[in-house]
Amino acid sequence: MKFVRAFFIATLTAFVVGFWATAPASARDTLADIKQRGKLVVGVKTDYKPFGFLDPSGKVVGIEPDLAADVARRLGVTIEYVPVVAANRIQFLQQGRIDLMIATMTDTPEREGLVGIVKPNYYDSGADVLARKGSGLNTWADVRGKTLCGIQGAYYNKDVQDKYGATLQSFTGTAEALNALQSGSCVGFVYDDTFNLPKLNDPQWSGYECKLPSIEALPWGVAVEKSDDKFLAYMSDVVKDWHKSGLIMSLQKKYGLPVSEFAKRMNAEANHK
């Protein structure tokens, strides 16, 4: 009994000390840490082609790893990629496991309260339609009265039905919706353009096109730790330069995506000034 009590007190103390030790310290100075280490640690996706994925040799490649490599080049350090997913990307940043996060994260007010999101936004993503060739869907006015497949719960479904007048058949997963599209139950699949556009490079989808422009676009953000104002300001300049130099557009071309309206617009704005 005495042993149990001692063990219990020891565990409790360990917990308390442990929590105390991991309490957030004063504001981080990531730039200094990176320079001292000689290495930039970046969180990227490794399962989302073409934004962050593994090539056949197992190397991390994609639009976002390339952007991260550009940051490392500017800082004159080496780079280390840490694979992240949506469920842990913010947490890794908060815990200091990564210095920088470029992982297809949509910029929302809720997330702005958790991490420091770099402005200007570096990318955006909306909804477009993967349509069978010859179905005559050239503008959004053409979807009126047509049957489109979709995914249940997507934020743009309401507008697709009410504003554009399409009949929407929403399924629970992309596999079901794509099956319905291929069997001809619907003329097009309305989903995130980041999912639809890479399909055009897939030989299985050679009979399909994405002619419609993206609607309901939401911006993405590069993220740093919340209290790190110095790094935030630095990355803001970096992103501005990305737009000015057209790096985003050239990376889209490199990985087989059509150049997005957002990238073109940001490039034009940056060079106008």
- Closer Cβ to another protein, 77 or 154, answer by number: 154
What is the C-alpha separation between 143 and 160, in angstroms, rounded?
A: 9
Length of the chain: 273
Q: Compute the half-sphere exposure of residue 148: CA atoms within 13 Å on the CB side of its CA.
A: 29
Number of H helices, E strands in the chain: 11, 14
- Closer Cβ to another protein, 49 or 211, answer by number: 211
Residues 87-116 that bind another protein (CB under 8 A): none
Strand partners, 151: 171
Q: Which of 21, 183, 203, 204 binds another protein (CB under 8 A)?
A: 183
We find the least distance from the C-beta atom of residue 180 to another protein, in angstroms, to be: 7
Residues 149-178 that bind another protein (CB under 8 A): 149, 152-155, 157-158, 162, 169-172, 176
Q: Which of 185, 206, 250, 271 binds another protein (CB under 8 A)?
A: 185
- Closer Cβ to another protein, 123 or 208, answer by number: 208
What is the C-alpha separation between 242 and 249, in angstroms, rounded?
A: 9
- Closer Cβ to another protein, 74 or 158, answer by number: 158
Q: Does residue 180 interact with another protein by CB under 8 A?
A: yes
The interface region with another protein, picked from 63-71, 90-98, 119-127, 181-189 by CB under 8 A, is 181-189
8 Å CB contact between 147 and 190: no
- Of 262, 264, 156, 164, nearest to 216 by C-alpha is 156
Q: Which of 174, 182, 227, 245 binds another protein (CB under 8 A)?
A: 182
Angle at alpha carbon of residue 194, lines to 91 and 104, rounded to 5°: 20
41, amino acid identity: V
Angle at alpha carbon of residue 54, lines to 51 and 59, rounded to 5°: 115
Site mask for another protein (CB under 8 A), range 117-146, x = bound? ---------------x-xx-----------
- Closer Cβ to another protein, 91 or 172, answer by number: 172
8 Å CB contact between 147 and 136: no
Q: Return residues touching another protein (CB under 8 A).
A: 132, 134-135, 149, 152-155, 157-158, 162, 169-172, 176, 179-180, 182-185
